[in-house]
Structure 1
Amino acid sequence: MKKVIMIGPASVSKGGIATVIANFEKTFSSNKVKIHYIASWKEGNPLFKLWMFVKAIMQLCYLAITQKIDIVHIHTSQKGSLYRKMIFINIAKLFRCKVMLHMHGSRFGIFYDKQPRFLQKTIVNHLDRLDHIIVLSDAWKAYYENLCDTPVTVMENAVEVPLSNPYTNTSKTIVTFGNVSQEKGSYDLLRAIQSLGAAYKEYEFIFYGIGDIPTAEAEIKQNNLTNVTLGGWVESNQKQNILENALLHILPSYHEALPMAVLETMAHGIPNISTNVGGIPQIIENQRNGLLIEPGEVTDLKQAIADLLDNEATRQEMSGKAHQAVQAKFSIDACNRKWEELYATI
């Protein structure tokens, strides 16, 4: 049996990486692979975060000394997350473990280009020491293959998919999941809602997530957007009810890998309006199971929302195709089988 150490944020933390790890903890089961989870980060004050990091290092060292570890599977994004994970790469290699780096960062290319030359070289040297790199889309596969010599495999995120489509086509609630920020297109969406005007006031738009809440609150108040609510962070026990009562999900991001929010909502048959970036076009087929626009195009975003709100039949058709698309390619069971096969090859 292959023994795998998985390192990343605690599964109860906020964010997409934590959701991916939580899905592993909840659903991955194999007679050929055993995963031990190490949490290297969790929300808290700086001293607590430092303790989580140091404790994770000690746990990795202890397990590597006392057991035969085959693979260390490390989740990371960019910036500080990557530099912290370099320490785990070096420790794992010191104990002659195979190392797999799972890249989730949607802005890695921008981050890398801004680094001084010596840090770029350090990053590439660490990437070249790896045994495998995991990415979320074909575009990122091409990027890393051009950057380093390590083998790269696309492994899409996965979600639990209801057996039957639970979509409620008569709902008046439109949701968006993710940090409230310019990068996620939050302010573009607020401007689009303002442009929709009084004709669509019966629909409530709820922004679920953390981020730049004061700026969003100020814009909502300034433009008298009475049908907009900031719903805060959603705990896992709240999400099911939200997903079963949402009419649309909107994520007009400027940068993405393969967002869990899009997969989770489509798994529940919710038509998505999103942007043609990252791995999103791998799951949303424009005009078939959702709508895609270019980032920053507020007029197009407003028109896309209006088009779906005005056409119940189109929503229903997209809903069925969205549910089917996720069930076919992004279900937990299908992806867990792919993970088992990949671990066996490393």
Structure 2
Amino acid sequence: MNKKKCICHLGPGEQSPGGMLSVIKSFLKNPFLKEYEQIHIATVSPTRKITTFLKGSLKLLYLLITKKVSLVYIHMSEGGSCYRTMVFINLCKLFSTPVVVHSHGSEIEVWYSNINKFLKTKFNNAMNKANAIVVLTPGWVCFWKQIVRNTKKIHVIPNYVYHRDYQTRTYLSNGYLNILFLGYIGERKGTYDLIKATKILVDSGIPVKIHIGGNGEIEKCNQLIEKLHLIEYANVYGWINKEKKEKLLNICDILVLPSKYESFGIVLLEAMNHQLPVICGSNGYSKEIIEDGHTGVVAPSEDAEKLAEILKNMYDEERLKNMGDKGYKHVEQNYIEEVVSCSIRNLLELLIN
């Protein structure tokens, strides 16, 4: 029996919960990739950053020296993650090991525009040594074309969710429009714009409740809710586990992610997969994964009044159901594990075999 070829994922570890770690875990347990042995080396942590990086680098070096790894798959965001990725790429190339860079960072464009010419050159050189760059939506290709000379190396592969059977569900069941926010609580994700929009809705007599789940600026969020006299209309849960997330996706009517900037927005897929209409911000690339007016609505980023107007129009059971059903079908056709895994497998086979 031939030994399985090994793919080594580099990225955040268990101490850094979030989107990238979720993607890594989805790769590791993907049944459509079972012909490969997949391992994960943590290369960054929120506290022992240097120690984690050095330990991770030594583990990778051992795998490269002993030829126990066939491909290195680097999950990259922005800032320090880009510098670590440059080191890992150059290390892998010393041993002629194929490298994939999976770009997750929502703010990598801002980071890249702010670094000096010397660092841009170093970064560009490293990225051109990679065998493939994976981006999440077609819009990201434009950014990477200015960096990668051989544009055939750029592959659009979105994040995915798991198939979920269609469920018969009701909307506005308690008379309220239950709005769900999932993500990092703070300015960049548009949390405070959503709270201000909720204030406008309450003042105009729309029965509404907001449910906010995520880590981040929890105290500041609660302070704004108290200041706007919204305590009876808002629930702030902090970081929530899988079971709590599932419960919220089942009891809420709509998910809102009004980010100032977003690289993808996996929670939008999770919501549509639960037949929830979604609202996303106009800045960034999350708008590319919904069909405006059909599976969700694209709202102008940083505009609480416009967001409130859109939400007011969503207080309609039939509209919520129609949009939720269309979103579910959209995800089933384009973003479930089985569909996206075909693209992943094709890329891995191309580079390894």
Aligned-pair distance for 1:250?
0.4
Which runs of 5 or more structure 2 residues have no equivalent in the other structure? Answer: none
SS at match of 1:147: coil
- The residue aligned with 1:261 is 267
- The residue aligned with 1:4 is 7
Bigger drift between 274-283 and 317-326 goes to 274-283
SS at match of 1:89: helix
Identity %: 27
- Change in CA separation of 1:200 and 1:61 when aligned onto 2, cut-off 3 Å: farther
Aligned-pair distance for 1:249?
0.4
Q: Is 1:174 the equivalent of 2:176?
A: no
Contact 1:99 1:130 in 2 (8 A): yes
The amino acid that maps onto 2:81 is S
SS at match of 1:184: coil
The amino acid that maps onto 1:229 is N
- The residue aligned with 2:227 is 222
- Change in CA separation of 1:200 and 1:269 when aligned onto 2, cut-off 3 Å: farther
SS at match of 2:146: helix
Bigger drift between 183-192 and 212-221 goes to 212-221
The amino acid that maps onto 2:344 is W
TM-score (norm 1): 0.93
SS at match of 1:133: strand
The amino acid that maps onto 1:6 is H
Cα-to-partner distance string for 1:237-285 (whole Å, 9 max, x where unaligned): 3222221212110011111111111111111111101123333233211
- Give the alignment's Cα RMSD to 1 decimal: 1.8
Contact 1:187 1:216 in 2 (8 A): yes
Bigger drift between 212-221 and 15-24 goes to 212-221
Q: Is 1:274 the equivalent of 2:280?
A: yes
> Equivalent residues in 2 for 1:195-214 (5 A)?
195-198=200-203, 202-214=207-219
The CA distance in 1 between the partners of 2:294 and 2:308, in whole Å, is 19
- Change in CA separation of 1:89 and 1:317 when aligned onto 2, cut-off 3 Å: same
SS at match of 1:128: helix
Contact 1:3 1:35 in 2 (8 A): yes
Aligned-pair distance for 1:15?
1.3
Bigger drift between 324-333 and 189-198 goes to 189-198
SS at match of 1:180: coil
- The residue aligned with 1:333 is 338
Contact 2:260 2:284 in 1 (8 A): no
Bigger drift between 252-261 and 61-70 goes to 61-70
Contact 2:281 2:299 in 1 (8 A): yes
The amino acid that maps onto 1:70 is S
- The residue aligned with 2:20 is 17
The CA distance in 2 between the partners of 1:161 and 1:42, in whole Å, is 31
Q: Is 1:37 the equivalent of 2:43?
A: no
Q: Is 1:287 the equivalent of 2:293?
A: yes
The CA distance in 2 between the partners of 1:209 and 1:240, in whole Å, is 14
- The residue aligned with 1:141 is 141
The CA distance in 1 between the partners of 2:292 and 2:164, in whole Å, is 23
> Equivalent residues in 2 for 1:51-66 (5 A)?
51-66=51-66
SS at match of 1:39: strand
Aligned residues: 342
SS at match of 1:134: strand
The CA distance in 2 between the partners of 1:94 and 1:209, in whole Å, is 41
The CA distance in 1 between the partners of 2:149 and 2:297, in whole Å, is 36
Which runs of 5 or more structure 1 residues have no equivalent in the other structure? Answer: none
Bigger drift between 323-332 and 51-60 goes to 51-60
Contact 2:212 2:235 in 1 (8 A): yes
- Change in CA separation of 1:341 and 1:26 when aligned onto 2, cut-off 3 Å: same
The CA distance in 2 between the partners of 1:156 and 1:99, in whole Å, is 18
SS at match of 1:273: strand
Aligned-pair distance for 1:166?
5.6
The CA distance in 2 between the partners of 1:184 and 1:273, in whole Å, is 12
The amino acid that maps onto 1:259 is G
